[in-house]
């Protein structure tokens, strides 16, 4: 049986001096996701050690359809827009697992 798990993965290059505000906004986005009918399994935000303005966020969802439903929710553009407004670059995407290694 094929695994339908899909992942959201986003690159965020935050404007200088806005890093903590970005982290707070991302926490707000994760709270919003938890209120969705089909929320993601978890959400993770990581920050580069070499570039304190570079963040990646990622998380598993049960299916691509769940991600598409989240993105079609009328609140989603506003929530993601809050993050993007704090960034010089924002690249969210949808991905499928190809392989894992031990």
Asked if residues 8 and 56 have their Cβ atoms less than 8 Å apart, the reply is no
Domains assigned to the chain: 6-96 (3.30.70.100)
pLDDT tens-digit readout, 11-69: 999 999 999 999 999 999 988 988 888 888 889 999 999 999 999 999 999 999 999 99
Q: Structure pTM?
A: 0.89
Q: Which of 80, 96, 94 is nearest to 12 (CA)?
A: 80
């Amino acid at each position: 049986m094929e695994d339908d798990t899909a992942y959201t993965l986003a690159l965020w290059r935050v404007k200088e001096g806005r890093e903590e505000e970005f982290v707070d906004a991302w926490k707000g986005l994760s709270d919003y996701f938890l209120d969705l009918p089909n929320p993601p399994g978890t959400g993770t935000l990581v920050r580069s050690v070499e570039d304190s303005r570079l963040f990646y966020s990622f998380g598993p969802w049960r299916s691509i359809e769940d991600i598409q439903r989240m993105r079609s929710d009328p609140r989603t553009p506003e929530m993601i827009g809050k993050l993007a407004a704090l960034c010089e670059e924002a690249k969210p995407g949808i991905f499928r697992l190809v392989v894992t290694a031990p």
